Every structure is written in C-alpha cells, then in structure tokens.
Amino acid sequence: MQNGHATEAPPNPGIVFEMMQAIHRTAALKAAIELDVFRAVGEGPGDVASIARHSNASERGTRILCDFLVINGVLAKEGNCYKHTPTSAAFLDPRSPACLASTAHFLGNNAMQDPLHKLAQIVREGRTSLPGDGSVEPENPIWVQFAETMAPMMGPLAGPLGAVVLEGHQGPMRVLDIAAGHGLFGIEIAKQKKDAHVTGLDWAPVLRVALKNAEKAGVHDRYEMLPGSAFDVDFGGPYDAVLLTNFLHHFDKPTCVGLLKKVHRALKPGGRAATLEFVPNEDRVSPPQAAAFSMVMLTTTPAGDAYTFSELSSMYDEAGFTGVKAHPIPGSPHTVVVGNA
Amino acid sequence: MQNGHATEAPPNPGIVFEMMQAIHRTAALKAAIELDVFRAVGEGPGDVASIARHSNASERGTRILCDFLVINGVLAKEGNCYKHTPTSAAFLDPRSPACLASTAHFLGNNAMQDPLHKLAQIVREGRTSLPGDGSVEPENPIWVQFAETMAPMMGPLAGPLGAVVLEGHQGPMRVLDIAAGHGLFGIEIAKQKKDAHVTGLDWAPVLRVALKNAEKAGVHDRYEMLPGSAFDVDFGGPYDAVLLTNFLHHFDKPTCVGLLKKVHRALKPGGRAATLEFVPNEDRVSPPQAAAFSMVMLTTTPAGDAYTFSELSSMYDEAGFTGVKAHPIPGSPHTVVVGNA
C-alpha cells in the first residue's frame, strides 16, 4: 500500500471540489504578482484602499483577491489589514532577494500552461501537444526566459550541488556545465574554488545570460562558452566534473544513456558527473513535489519523465559510471545524483 | 490576528510553487473524467495497460496522469496497480450515485474558467470580464447546464434545507422556490410534506429540467412553474415559505435587499424566507471553501459576493424580516439562513 492515508480516510467531497477549483489558486497568484500586490502589502499600511490605489485596481477586486491569498497562506490578515506571512515576505515581495515572481512568470508562460487545456489529448497521445518537440525543440526561446527567470529558484541549490561536486577534490579543476541556462551552478563552483575553470554549454542566446551572471559574480575570466546542442557539439575536455542540471528529465532513457556515455568519454578517469533532478521514490507518487514533476514532462516534452533513483542509477551504470549516489538537497524537492567515471 | 498559523510558520517556498502549479490539479481532474479513468479504475484490474486500453490512451500518459491523481488523494496505488480511495469511489466513479463528474463539467465550463485568464484585469475593473452581466445575464444558458449538472452537489443539501424550512410547520403549505434550477430544494419539501404545493421560478428552459426532476420524484402534480426573472415576475402567493438558494451571492447588497422586500410581501405573516449560501466568518477568510467562493463571484458577476452572516442578517432586517438565524449544514460549506416575515 503506497498511499494508506488517502485510502483509509472517509470519503470527502471537499477534496474533489478543491481540485476542481485549484486553477483559481494559480490565477490568483499570477494576478497578484502582475498587480504588484505583494509590494503594496510589504510597504503598508495594508488596508484595501491603499493596496487598490497602489495596484490601480478596484477595491472590490482587491479585497476579494487579498482574502483569497490569505485563505491560501500567502498573506495574513489582521482586522481589515493585510500583512505578509513569512513565506510571502521572503518569496513574493519583490523587495526580497529571494523573490520568486520571475519564476512564477516562467512557470506560468504559455508554453508551460497551454498544454494543460489539452491534457486529455496529451494523455491519449502520450506526448506534449506543443509544436515539434515542445520544450526540447532546438533553440526554443523559452530557455532564454528560463535562464533569465529561474535564478531565484535555482540559486539556493547551487551551494549544495557545488559541495557535492567539490567534495574531496584537490588541485585545479575543469568543469563542463551542460545546459548551463543561467549558469549559476558552474559559477558557484568557480566561486567556491579559485582554480576551477568552467565551460558553459547551451544555446548561444542562453549563454549570453550565463555570461552576464559570471561577470556579476566576478568569475568571467574563468568562464568559457560552448554554444550548441549537448547532443551535437564536441565537449572537448577532459574534465574533472560535468554538471547535468535539470536536463535528463526532458528525454527518454536511451537518449539519457547516450548522453551519459558521451559525458563519460569527456571525463578524466575518476571524474564526476552530477545531475540535478526531481527524483521521486520508487512508488513514483512520493514525495509529492518531486513526483508531480512528471506531469510537467508529460505536458511539455515528447518522452521525458521524473526518473526514480533506480532508473537514474541504471542509466549511469549502462554508461560506464560507478559508485552512483543520491544526495537529496534538504528543504528542496531536488536531488543531486553523482557517478564516477 | 485572523491567520496566526500561516503568519508564524517558517518561510516555505513550497507553498508558492504549489500555488504556481495548482492549475495542473484542475487540468488532471478534468482529463481523467474525460478519459473515463475513474470507471476504469473501479472496474479493475487497475494496471496501467488496462486503464490505457479502456481510455484509448497511451501508457506513458496514463501512468503519469494516474500517479498525479494518487499524489492528489483521488486514487490510491498498490504496487503498480491503481485503486479507488473512498473519496474517488464515492465522488468520481461514474458508477456511484454521488458521482460529481457532471459538477466538475459545470465548474470547468468556459464561462466559469475563461475569466481566470484575465484575473488581473477583473481585479482592476472590479467586475467579471464576461460579456454583459456575466453569469447573471438574463436567460444565460449556463443556468440550464447548472440545472442539468449540479444535482449531485446540491442533492445532499436538500434534506437539511427542507428540515429547517419545515420545522414546526403544521397544515398545508405553499412554497415558492426562486431560482429553482434543478428544482431539488422545492421537490424535497414536496417529498417531505404531502400537503405542500411548490412553485418553481426560473428561466423557462431551466424550469423544464426542474419539471423533469419533479416527475422523477413523483411530485409533479403539486409542482407549478413560474417562468421569468425573479426581479420582474409577479410572485403571486401568499406563501408559507420562499426558498432563495444559491441566488443572493450573485448581486450587490441593494439588489438583495430589494429582492428580499419583494419576497417579504409575498409571504404570509410569520412565513419563512430561507437562503442557501456560502457564508464565511466575519474575517472573510475562513472557513476556506465558503470564503474562497467570493473569487467565483468576482470572476463571473458584476457585483456578487460571499456575504457574511452579519451582512445577510442586515439585508433581512432591512427588508422587514425578524428572528434571522444561520443553520450551517454539517459536512458541507453551505449555510441555510432563515428569517420570518
């Protein structure tokens, strides 16, 4: 029994109604971000009239929206005034460095959400309804948007990933960051290790975002760019470590194995390949956030998935890696999986 | 402090991500209903291949969809087989008399969901983005769909509402059921009381649905139809009781008071007006399901709301009623509010 709790609870129509109306929650978050409600609440005083003025919005709409945000735990209410919860202060007020508004913008973009309106068709056909190969179509411009917007979500993961990759490593280091995106993972390694040189690989317009971030971090003199497709370009090398962050889940198993073989060939003996993934338990239905990611892959790719550790481990094995280990990142739904060449 | 729990919990980005992706949950429920997944699971054996065959769907899509339903508590998983939870067996398997699939269809229709994509604009303007008066536009065909689909949601409320209306009443009874819809509330009274005569008021095409239900219940010889708008037609009377179910929330307070005055004039002295409403607490953010209903009114009407008891009570008072009382219906987000003429 994987889900004893849900199986044994008494029948509850509220679960079904809540699911029917869950779309309201996504819509309310998007609208509140667009209307700059979280800044207005942070700046105070937090009454409906002040927020409505700030947002150039009606009082009726503002009140109902803000109440709805309170119901959903991303605002609080004291009398007739709204204030931040710790969560909304940290992750939704644009004055916070950890603000996730840009991430909400990416996850709410048309390419990610339009397929949801055709989900029955997608389940029938078993692949995204987006044109071509969906999110993995070559040069898909959504990856520039990903690079530009996902730093607040991905930034906190760079430290833990870097620690796993660097653990026990002595001396100078060459690192290849495949599907670099915003570049934060490779940049973090260059920041943690002053004799590390990083090569970022991604579509050229994406790499321009990574290079800007490398400049901001002051590591651009040790940052090289390798534009193109991970499946086509010559990796060069040999490298001490290869990063494969948020990448394997877009492809089917044979494609992942083929890529891991190519990575293996580009590594020095004993070098490390580190993937950052949503890794559900073997039951595929827990923990919820990692397991639910397979729905994103169903709707936006032809054959991607949220792979379990046994699946990832088999792929690594088949590509010639040994000592494959999972390092869950505490407080996040992500796991770093590392193998040795 | 209305929301101490959320205010004091540590910051949790998972709350924000879950909200960004909540739209997946509504999409998955709709797709599973469309693909008849809940019947396939109920009939067994519940493995992916069998469900996929039943649904004429891919195995990849079926597996990911079913796992997602497990994550959300509307299926369970044993090994590689899916089975019902008590909730999905009762409320999602079309073989169950309490199945809510038709309700999901109504709540997921375009008129209810399209405005969600324009929520920022709606908050700015303070009213629905739907043409005209939205869901309360005269003769809006969605009310025929409401009447045809909402019986599974509303049926269980008819008994408790009837008990409140009938309590202590002696002798023959004339009842006016305003915005009768499916007619179940008036029909229930006719079923409970053999000397009750019910007049259903609604748009003519809606009343045809109510009459069919009255025939099914065997009470059509005591069921009359009064087609038209509650604001325009002569109510006739005098009545012992007037039902106003799921109606006041669509309108602003002056409109509600005007209608309640008209209801008062149609009642015998001592007669009862009973409304069925989502009634949030005075904080307007609890309990969650009743409070969140205001978002439905914001997106689909020009000026409706989920009114608190003090607001409803004031409206009744202003219209001349006395002894106004709230009767929450146990296990449901609804409340019956009764006043005496």
Please tell me which residue of chain B has the smallest CA distance to A90. Answer: B11
Q: Which CA distances in Å does A269 have to A237, A241, A273, B24, B266?
A: 12, 10, 11, 43, 90
Closest CA to B28 of B62, B79, B76: B62
CA A124 to chain B, closest CA, distance in angstroms equals 4
Indicate the residue of B25, B31, B296 with minimum beta-carbon distance to A120.
Answer: B31
Asked whether the predicted pLDDT for residue A190 surpasses 50, the reply is yes
- Mark yes or no for CB contact B64/A295 under 8 Å: yes
Structure tokens, B77: 């998983």
Asked whether the predicted pLDDT for residue A7 surpasses 60, the reply is no
Closest CA to B42 of B22, B69, B23, B72: B69
Write out chain A residues lying below 8 Å of B59, CB-based: 126
State the helix-helix crossing angle for A151-166 and A184-192, rounded to 10 degrees: 50
Asked whether the predicted pLDDT for residue A2 surpasses 60, the reply is no
| Helical spans, DSSP H, in B72-222 | 86-91, 101-107, 110-113, 119-125, 142-149, 151-166, 184-192, 204-217
Peptide bond into B172 cis (omega under 30): no
Asked whether the predicted pLDDT for residue A3 surpasses 60, the reply is no
Q: Distance (Å, rounded) from C-alpha B255 to C-alpha B275?
A: 15
Please tell me which residue of chain A has the smallest CA distance to B77. Answer: A2
ipTM above 0.85, yes or no: yes
Closest CA to A13 of B308, B106, B101: B101
Indicate the residue of B15, B26, B117 with minimum beta-carbon distance to A19.
Answer: B26
Closest CA to B180 of B96, B242, B135: B242
The band of B8, judged by pLDDT with boundaries at 50, 70 and 90, is low
Q: Residue A113 has what pLDDT?
A: 87
Closest CA to B204 of B138, B158, B263: B138
Question: Under a CB-based contact definition with an 8 Å cutoff, are residues B147 and B209 in contact?
Answer: yes
Q: Residue A8 has what pLDDT?
A: 65
| Residue pLDDT, tens place only, A69-112 | 999 999 999 999 999 999 999 999 999 999 999 888 888 888 88
β A173-178/A196-202 pair status: parallel
- Mark yes or no for CB contact B20/A71 under 8 Å: no
Q: Distance (Å, rounded) from C-alpha B110 to C-alpha B102?
A: 14
| Residue pLDDT, tens place only, B246-265 | 999 999 999 999 999 999 99
* H or E segment to which residue B223 belongs: strand B223-227
Please tell me which residue of chain B has the smallest CA distance to A305. Answer: B64
Question: Under a CB-based contact definition with an 8 Å cutoff, are residues A213 and A151 in contact?
Answer: yes
Residues B154-163, mean pLDDT to the nearest whole number: 94
The band of A5, judged by pLDDT with boundaries at 50, 70 and 90, is very low
Indicate the residue of A57, A71, A119 with minimum beta-carbon distance to B292.
Answer: A71
Q: Residue A232 has what pLDDT?
A: 97
- Mark yes or no for CB contact A123/B58 under 8 Å: yes
Residues B40-67, mean pLDDT to the nearest whole number: 98
| Encoded amino acid at B159, one letter | G
Residues B37-41, mean pLDDT to the nearest whole number: 98
Size of interface A-B (CB pairs under 8 A): 309
Can you list the positions of beta strands (E) in chain A? 76-78, 81-83, 173-178, 196-202, 223-227, 239-245, 267-278, 322-328, 334-340
